[in-house]
A and B are shown apart, each in its own frame.
Chain A
Amino acid sequence: MSAPGFTNLSSSVNYNQNSTPNGGDAPPYQNGPAQTYQSMYPPTGCYGAPPQHQSYPTIPAHSTPAPSKASMTNSVHSANYYQSNHQQQQQQQQQQRPVPQHHVAPSPYSAPPSQPVPSSGPVPPHAQYNQQLQHPPYATPGSYYGPQSYHPPPAQHTSQQQQQQQQQPTLVPAPASGPGAPLHPIVSYPSAPGNSQYGTLSSSQNNTTPGVLPTQMGAPLHQYSTSRPASTTAAQPGYGVAPPSQLVPTVNGQGSTVHQHYDRSCQSSLSYNTYSGAEADQLPSGTPSTSVHSSPGHHQGGDTSSSSTGSASPVPNSYDSLEGGNFPDSMPPSNDMTNQAAPYGSYGYPNMQQGYHQGPASHADSSPSHDPYGQSSYQQYSQPFPNLSQLSAALGGLSGVPELEVEALTPINLLQERSLLPPRPLEAPEPNLSPELKKVNCSPQTFRCTLTSIPQTQTLLNKARLPLGLLLHPFRDLQQLPVITSNTIVRCRSCRTYINPFVTFLDQRRWKCNLCYRVNDVPDEFMYNPVTRSYGEPHKRPEVQNATVEFIASSDYMVGTKRLQVNDNSTTNQLRPPQPAAYLFVLDVSHNAVESGYLKYFCDSLMENLDKLPGDSRTRVGFLTFDNTIHFYNLQEGLSQPQMLVVSDIDDVFIPSNDSLMVNLKESKELVKDLLTSLPAMFSQSRETQSALGPALQAAFKLMSPTGGRITVFQTQLPTLGAGALQSREDPNQRSSNKGVQHLGPATDFYKKLALDCSGQQIGVDLFLLSSQYTDLASISCISKYSAGSIFYYPSFHFIHNPAQLEKFQRDLDRYLSRKIGFEAVMRIRCTKGLSIHTFHGNFFVRSTDLLSLANVNPDSAFAVQMSIEDSLADSSLACFQAALLYTSSKGKRRIRVHTLCLPVVNQLSDVYAGADVQAITCLLANMAIDRSITSSLSDARDALVNAVVDFASAYKSNVSNLQQSGLVVPAAMCLFPIYILALLKQKALRTGTSTRLDERVFAMCEFKTQPLEQLMRMVHPDLYRLDNMSDQGALHLNDTVVPQPHLLHLSAENISRDGAFLLDCGYVFYLWIGKCCNDMFIRDVLGCTNFASIPPNMSHIPELETPLSQRVRALLDWLQDNRAFSSMMHVIKDDASTKVTFFQHMVEDRSESASSYHEFLQQVQQQMSK
């Protein structure tokens, strides 16, 4: 029995590890949920939980209640327990043991017995466990607590404990296992109580800590089985544990000697607790794990450690003040705070520590724990909020807010001030918040607001003439992400907001929602025992310490969540367990496609990445090719080679075989490889020029609709057959017309409707368009736009003639195939009462006013949201936004990623301007302009952009600036606004007068809608550096490499000199421009060529030379590429090459044949202002 549970745990651990970075999930992960799961989805076994089932036949009874996990109380457990279900017993025992022990016999406190309790069974697991994690920590916790309990000598403690227990009577009858009971009585359990509270935390810890938990889990199970007999009798308030915590502190000091005894035994017990928590949904106390962690301190002796911990806490006080809540009970918050925070930073796990800290912290016990943890753990502690601190450091370590504000408000006359660019790329402005809030606020890379100071009323917003909106990158790859497993995810009861760092704790039992201001109860699981008060430190939980957290939704919670989020129609989804990862590749194999030669490269790339496709053992793949017919491939396991099935009836597409077209990747890997090897050759002779894209997509839809998943479409020409056939709408003569551009919208709604059907079946469609002629991307892109897919476009793709595109295609494919993916996702954005969402931008389907339906979600797509202020925000000084993304990981786990952003509310126009984020504003305006150009016209959109500058400048002039100086005056925070808008107007998507292919224009528009802000800004306004005279002044020293930091240059040809070498960073591509008179040394050292003339014309790599200059340049390039999802291409452009046009078209401040220069633009703005 124990075994199954154990396995689950282990899996969970793995999951966590993955998750932190990319969120890979191990399906089996949830022990507790699994049970419920079974009940719910017995046959599916999707969760990998099934084994548990078998192992615990009795479970069923348990399972039935499971659905209502949240509600489930300890009593339920107890009932189960009595029923004699092993699991239950185990769980209960774990949790309750401590309690029962207490009840049963204070006498049991004698230390010796306790040791035996751990029983040999558990021991082995321990060993493993230790190895994986830090052994000491675990052990310590147990010991730590244990000693306390043992120390009964402090009669007070014992009595307290007992009292507490009695008070908490509710939960479980003590599952006292005969043997275990005496032992358990040991204080260790008291710690357990802490666990109960923190149970959630602990679970999370499990996740985060690699491997550790699993072992623990397993061990506990064993123990339980053995101990089981003991159970019975006393129904103690297992949860009563909380009280012990109070005791604990005292105990620690006293019981040091005892501790050693306990170590192992305690560990085992602890492990049990954790296990039970994890497994049993019932136990709100899933947290136990946390307690376990805490135990580690035990080894070394709590006393010593305690001192250290105390010192570590810098933050605590501030936190309290922030929250505004009084925590009468929890006096020593400071230590806890720091500790908790630290853990997170270092590991995904911070939770564990929290749990630990919380209990002990109040009594200053926490300190002991530190030592036990060993150095690593210690470090964690010592660095509270490592993430945050790093972040802030990364942000440039801005200091005084007032200074900033003043600086941001300095009026600048744009007509006189010529050099506006900061030396380094612009960072996001920091909101004017208290340092504590700043520390926990969401990263600007994830969540950015156009106005970091929210105006109080719509009137004020209108006066400011700036758009209010959010730029979101919710699923981006994170280095550190606290993952929380909890039976009950704490949310506001009226608005369903997830608890976050910006809520207010009124007291220990109540918190006030920061979005709707409703006062909610803190559930027991979150803060277990209010009566005893000792453990009540809900404000130390990871959810309350991190603005970005990820919950692993237990199975029944998941269903509930879905129902809540989806509203009435969602019932459809409730029946559906998390889907397996499913990938279908739809490949164009018409003559045109074969000609372009992409097929071979795609097959090679997929072959390489086959093992990297995110997924688990259930991953399914399928292939479908089409020209004027549709070809299916039967890859059923057992076939000697793939079977091709041709359906030529494209008017009424049907699926020739039901179950063998989408196959399990693991089982049919050989066949898949066979197919990938033979595919390019199979169609090499194709003469078919027609393309039946529409029918192929319909077929793909039918194939995928039972599971949902991702369809990847490769298309190389205009679809000409069947449904969705399109005609060329582009008139090449109009490409450079000034009159406005036609056909930016779709020609047919076929693709849109199909996309909506796909979205309804949780299918995302990604489009790779590789074509040399017009393909009507405006129509075809709808298939991805509304199914939350992504779009890739390679104009003039040819495997020989266009090596640059080929390389980009290959790199993109590598990233695309291996990047993280979330299935059947929905994202809801909530905001403080008074704010409302006006419009969404991005690829998705808007299901309701604040809910986006994302069939697939990928880490590279971003969203923009326009907001409006409906009611005055005067009654609060902070405005918060919360984006919650619920998705199924590729491992079949339901997860919720929650980001919360907190911003100050201001009532002065000058404050609004001081907090304006010019980059975010530009991106939001770009999105709005693109909408406008589709619904209205391109010229309208361009006018609107110019008007945005004009309106802003006039508003500033008339309302804020009291200088009566002539000229164009804007606040320093917005001084780049005109440049960015001008750059936008010259961008492919919005430019006129320059020859632009319709497809490229439409693609640029799609990019604007989905690219994250940093990428977008580089596309709009590339960064220009001079490379040939870089100095080490101000250089970054990363590890062993020196990364020079050349200054940004204005995008003007006057900054380009013939004797220099310049790097232009356009996001997806770097241009290295080499002037004719460029220093030969630079050419030799960096490019490896003797002189300018010998540089090859299509150079696209920087050779790895051992010269210092080359190393600097490459270090800079690597540094710039860091954190970019798709690696950028490099083009070396010679001064005399014809390609230099591509370089100079990025010089947006210069006048071009069809567009004005920056100075002219400013004058135009000034003219319009005076009208």
Chain B
Amino acid sequence: MAFTFAAFCYMLALLLTAALIFFAIWHIIAFDELKTDYKNPIDQCNTLNPVSDPPPPSCVLVRGARGVPGPSGSEGARGLVLPEYLIHFFFCVMFFCAAEWLTLCLNLPLLAYHVWRYMSRPVMSCPGLYDPTTIMNADILAFCQKEGWCKLAFYLLSFFYYLYGMIYVLVSS
């Protein structure tokens, strides 16, 4: 029983997957909030999309002057989409390095999906996937929600798979 690189990868993946599960849940909640009319799509998209550049100063000034609170709340949770993709990509690379081919194969479809998803995003000047003007379309909303549930299921399964994989690697080596 030795602590190999592969075991390390599994442990890392385990932790990161836990984070991804959190992301997926957060994603589902975010769209549910949209659907139930609880949030403004602009604010919600600002939190979903990573905000690379701060809003133009003019806006801030104007809002301040009006006493309008800026996008509420979740400043800390901003832009979870890209981090999610990066984390997933990161441990795919790790598995690749660890030569865990089966695990890598299991993850490849999702990786490909992420690439496709990001390539086909709407025209945007900043990184991000969601366009506040189309997000309320019932099809897109339903799609995003379904996407969230599927990912949640996938991450949950892979969480246990990684757990199993880690133990297996630890035991077998």
Contacts and interface: CB of A to CB of B under 8 A. Distances in A.
Interface in B30-69: 34-35, 37-43, 56, 58-59, 62, 65-69
Interface stretch (B74-82, B103-111, B134-142, B152-160): B134-142
B172 interface: no
A6 interface: no
Contacts of B72: 568-569
B133 A752 contact: yes
B2 interface: no
Given A702-B62, A838-B139, A567 B133 contact: no
Contact of A847 (B41, B65, B68, B123): B41
Interface string A999-1031: 000000000000000000000000000000000
B102 interface: no
B125 A572 contact: no
B34 to A, nearest CB: 8
Given A572-B66, A846-B133, A567 B58 contact: no
26 contacts: A567-B37, A568-B39, A569-B72, A576-B66, A698-B56, A701-B58, A702-B62, A706-B65, A746-B123, A749-B122, A749-B125, A749-B131, A750-B125, A752-B131, A756-B132, A757-B59, A761-B62, A761-B66, A837-B138, A838-B138, A846-B136, A849-B136, A849-B138, A849-B141, A851-B37, A868-B138
B1 interface: no
B40 A569 contact: yes
A760 B58 contact: no
A836 interface: yes
Interface string B72-96: 1000000000000000000000000
A252 B67 CA distance: 58
Nearest to A848: B37
Nearest 10 interchain pairs by C-beta:
A846-B136, A572-B68, A848-B37, A838-B138, A705-B62, A569-B40, A749-B124, A839-B137, A749-B125, A702-B58
A747 B62 contact: no
Interface string A1141-1153: 0000000000000
B43, B72, B123 — which one has the most chain A CB atoms within 10 A of its CB? B123
A338 B56 CA distance: 59
A846 B136 CA distance: 7
Nearest to A760: B42
Q: Is the contact region of chain A dominated by helix, strand, or loop, or is it mixed?
A: mixed
B123 A747 contact: yes
A475 to B, nearest CB: 21
Interface of B: 34-35, 37-43, 56, 58-59, 62, 65-69, 72, 122-125, 131-133, 136-139, 141
A943 B125 CA distance: 32
Given A572-B68, A572-B69, A838-B138, A745 B123 contact: yes
Contacts of A750: 125
Contacts of A702: 58, 62
Contact residues on A (Cβ < 8 Å of other chain), bracket: 35 or more
A394 B66 CA distance: 49
B62 A847 contact: no
Contacts of B125: 748-750, 753
B38, B40, B139 — which one has the most chain A CB atoms within 10 A of its CB? B40
Nearest to B120: A935
Contact of B67 (A572, A836, A849): A572
A576 B63 CA distance: 13
Given A568-B39, A839-B139, A847-B40, A756 B66 contact: no
A15 interface: no
Nearest to B43: A569
Contacts of A848: 34, 37, 40-41, 136
Contacts of A850: 37
Contacts of B56: 698
Given A572-B66, A701-B58, A746-B123, A845 B133 contact: yes
Interface in A697-714: 698, 701-702, 705-706
A567 B137 contact: no
Nearest to B122: A749
Contacts of A845: 132-133
Contacts of B123: 745-749
A163 B157 CA distance: 75
Given A761-B62, A845-B133, 6 more contacts: A746-B123, A748-B125, A756-B133, A839-B138, A848-B37, A849-B141
A84 to B, nearest CB: 36
Nearest to B133: A786
Contacts of B141: 849
